[in-house]
Structures are given as structure tokens and as C-alpha cells.
Chain A
């Protein structure tokens, strides 16, 4: 393959697009679409693991699209962070594809659930792998359009109301993102991220750079659901089918977080004190509002939605502290969070299937009838709260330790309190859903679309992964450490893209 070196970087984007197109071709045959959903995402996971291995060996894997040399053409770049995120996308994609076998139903399949599912994965992977800021915008839009359609599949009133807020806020964020790109292009005359990193150092107008940095922070802050732009998330994430919620919860906001990590380590790293001070406050307030919002809720999925917000705060805290250890913590936190949060949503779907409600007051008695499910809930729930020896403990431990090292006492205190309040929310769910007796007049089991085994498999697999990350955290920590090293020392990235080191 001399004409397309490092084709592996493009495959995680191209494959879901192809499989999605193929699913469209089999519009009538739902069985084929289901098969393509599982097989396509399994293949995607294999490819992404291969990409991670390649990236681990080479440091950066760069592909120039159409063989146009950087910075003139669009490059796809895989560094450790991007490769890790792509692997996580593969894991969540496969888990939700299997879960969808019994969790989605014919009505949604008829309106194109599977093609949209693949399109979403392609958009997410594209956003992770691109090395061009305008291309990042394009992938954001691909991802958004797919998510808009997935969000309203079914057409219930709550979905419409949630979707209007979701669509408006995300379009506003896209417009701000586009504005920032326009100003940045006017200032530097380039769109390649590595080239931008070089050119922005030579710009004579630091005021303009700060303005653009703030625009990026707001645009990605909306996408990541950071304070004070988070309110679209708890208004919409609990409205679609649970498989869709799990996919969104695992991946979408994390694309925003990834973009923040990428832009504020690679491009806007001149005035670190200024921007990262703001990020620190954003992180603390995001953690607090998210967890307090969750404490007031009595609906399974709404509690989980608010906890997405509070967990986003920890990741941004890792970025805001901006020490090597803090970045390691942030990356580790993203890895842990994607798996745990998607799993919790999947469990809420299974409890709905068994009891016919998402309201905590109408649920109960699941520990008596399904003790295994109760244990499976405990694993991600306690991991989310940060109890050892699960994955969340190490994620929180690294970030808090990094906070102590730079003596950011307030941030450390907030992180600890939020961990405690997370435990409160999780214990609340445990008490209401699993421990207390079944209240009279529940809706009872729902008619399942297929065998419930397909719902159990991803839940068990993801719970096992949570335990494994906790027990054998060393390789995960090393991956996070390597990605943090690459993020903080941008010369490797710039060299790989502009110097043609891996060509």
C-alpha cells in the first residue's frame, strides 16, 4: 500500500460510514441491519485496537488525505489520546449494538436506527482523529445530525421538547465554533492544528488570541455540558430509548471534553495561567451543580444525566490543573467514565424492562428478584462514586493527588465533597430500586422485543471491565501517562504532522 501509508488511521472513520451505507441498502431487512450493527461495531473495535497498538509503538500515526502534504491538505492524526478515545468508541459501539438487539424494537428500526447509529460512530471517530480544525467542525456536525435524528426517533412529546433544547444549544455552539474558526483563520491563515500551534506563538495581537480561545472554550463547553451551559443535557438525555441514551452518555459529551483537551493543550498553550484559571472555576462549578441537581431527582435516568455533568467537571479539572499528573488523571477519568456511565444507563434500561418504570418511587424489590443485577449495578455505581478498588477510585485519586501537589485546596475539597454526594445519589438508587419492597401498583415487566440475554451481555462485560481497570490499572495508567506526555510536549505532534516523521 504505497499510495496510502497509515491507512489504519482512516479506517475507524471509513468503516462505520460503509457499514451505515450498507445498512441503508438493506432498509427492509431488519435482521440484516441488526447483524451489520453487531458485526460492524465488532470490526470497528478490532480496527481501533490495532490503531492503538500502532500508536503505542510509533507515538503518532499520521495520514495525509489524498496525499496533500500538511499543512495544505487535511491530515488525520492518531496520538495516544485520540487512539484511546477511538477504542472506547468501539467498546461502547459494540456494547450498545448488542444491547439494541433486544432494546430497540421494530418501530425504531423501521425509521433507520442502525444507519444513524453507524453515522454517529463515524462522526465521533472523525472528531477524535482529525488534525484539522475545520474538519473537526465538519465531524461535529456529522455527529450532531445523527444524534438529532436518534434523539427524536419515536416522536413522543418529551422527546420533541428535549430535542428543541438540544438542537438549539448545539447549533448555537456550532455557530460559535465556526465564528472562532473564521477569526483564527483570519489571524493565522491556516487550519491545520499543528501549524496553528506554531503560528499562534508568532501572532502579535495577544488580545485577539484570548478572544478566540474564549470562543472555543464556550463552544466546546456547551458540547461538553460544562457549567453554565449544561442544562440541555438533563433536559434531553432521558427522553429517547435507553440504548440511545447510553450511546450519548458514553460518547457525545466526551467529544466536547476531548476537543477542550486538544485545543487547550496543543493550540492555546501560551497564556496558560489565564485560560486555565477560568477552566478551574468552570470545573468546580460543573462538579457541584451536577451533583446537587442529581440529589434533587427521583427518576433513574435523570439522576444519571445530572451525574454526567458532575463527572465532566472532574475531567475538566484534570485539564485545568495542567500538571503532568493532572492530565494523566483527566485521561484516566475519561476512560473510566465512558465505560461506567454507559453501563449505568444500560442497567436503567434493563430495570425498566423488568419493572416498567424509570421513577424511583414506582420501582423496588429488584434485590429479591434479581440479585445478580443488583450486584452488577453496585459495580459501576460504586465506581462512579470512587470507592476502591474499582476504576473510579484510581481516576479520582490521581486527580485529587495532582490537586494536592499544586496546592489547589479548594478544588480538592470540591472534588472530595462531590465524590461523597455521588455516593449519596447511588445509594439512593440502590435503596429505592433494589432494596425496598416493591410498591403496589407497578407496571410490571414490559414486553421484550427479543431475548433479554442481549441486554445482560453488555452489562456484564462492561462491569467486568470496570473491575479489571481497578484491579489491573497499571497498563491503563501507562497509556494515560503516555498520552499526557504527548499532550504536554506538543513538539512531537507538530513534528509528526509537519515534519513528516512517520511518512
Chain B
């Protein structure tokens, strides 16, 4: 399963970078969405894929019986998803406003502030 996930994550990173290199700012944001999802899946996979072993502890014990899934990685991903969602919502509004102000969705038309 890890092998499959590795290819999925690699594919997502590739697609993300490709989209970010396009000139359209809409594709740029799609690239950012893919990138944040790729990073989340990477944390998920790097922490180890454990199936059917929830980290539940019996009453009175301090450790779960036998090996169990790592809940911390899931907590990290949840946090990262929420942050990513907020930031991407901002990015979508930003490109909308930029499109209104500049009148184009082409990065090549947005070079006024470059040097």
C-alpha cells in the first residue's frame, strides 16, 4: 500500500508544480491546492499506514493492546487541512480581485512591480 501511496503523492507533487508553472493565475491556485493535499498525504503515509487498529486504550491500561495506528499524524493532517483551507480561500479571493484589477488572468501581464 505504501508503494501505491508513494506514487500517488509523487504524481500530486508533479501535477502541482506543473500547474504552478503555467501562466494562468487560476491554474496557479489549482497547483497550490494540489500541493497542500500532496503534503498532507505525505504526512499520512510517512507516519505509517496501520489498518484496523484504532489507538483505543482499555479501561485501567496506559497503553493500547498491541500495535495501533498513530493518532498524532492524523491530528497534524487535520490542522494542516484547516490551515490550508483558510489560506486557499484567501488565495482564491486574491486572484479574483487581481483579475478584476488587472483585467487579465495572465502572469505575464503582472510584471509592473518586478524589477
Residues of A whose CB lies within 8 Å of any CB of B are 134, 137-138, 141, 144-145, 148-149, 152, 155-158, 160-165, 167-168, 171-172, 174-175, 178-179, 181-183, 185-187, 189, 191, 231, 234-236, 238-239, 293, 296-297, 302
Contacts and interface: CB of A to CB of B under 8 A. Distances in A.
Contact of A164 (B36, B76, B95, B115): B95
Contact of A157 (B38, B102, B114): B102
Interface in B1-49: 20, 25, 28, 32, 35-36, 38-40, 42-43, 45-48
Nearest to B70: A189
Given A138-B83, A141-B87, A164 B43 contact: no
A297 B94 CA distance: 28
B112 interface: yes
B87 A161 contact: no
A268 B65 CA distance: 35
B101 A171 contact: no
B113 A239 contact: yes
Contact of A185 (B38, B47, B115): B47
26 contacts: A137-B80, A138-B79, A141-B87, A148-B90, A148-B94, A152-B97, A160-B98, A160-B101, A163-B94, A164-B28, A164-B94, A168-B32, A178-B40, A178-B43, A181-B76, A182-B42, A182-B46, A183-B42, A183-B46, A185-B43, A185-B46, A185-B47, A186-B43, A186-B45, A235-B114, A238-B113
A190 to B, nearest CB: 9
A235 B98 CA distance: 15
B81 to A, nearest CB: 11
A338 B110 CA distance: 30
A235 to B, nearest CB: 5
Contacts of B69: none
Contact of B28 (A152, A168, A297): A168
Contacts of B35: 171-172, 175
Contacts of A157: 101-102, 112
A186 B47 contact: yes
Given A182-B39, A182-B47, A297-B115, 14 more contacts: A141-B83, A145-B90, A157-B101, A157-B102, A157-B112, A164-B110, A175-B36, A179-B38, A183-B42, A183-B46, A185-B43, A191-B72, A235-B114, A302-B115
Nearest to A184: B46
User: Do most interface residues of chain A lie in helix, strand or loop, or is the interface mixed?
Assistant: helix
B87 A144 contact: yes
Given A148-B90, A185-B47, A158 B113 contact: yes
B65 to A, nearest CB: 20
A291 B71 CA distance: 48
Closest 10 CB pairs of A and B: A186-B46, A182-B43, A160-B98, A178-B39, A161-B110, A175-B35, A182-B42, A162-B113, A182-B46, A141-B83
A167 B112 contact: no
Contacts of A167: 90-91, 94
Interface in B37-67: 38-40, 42-43, 45-48
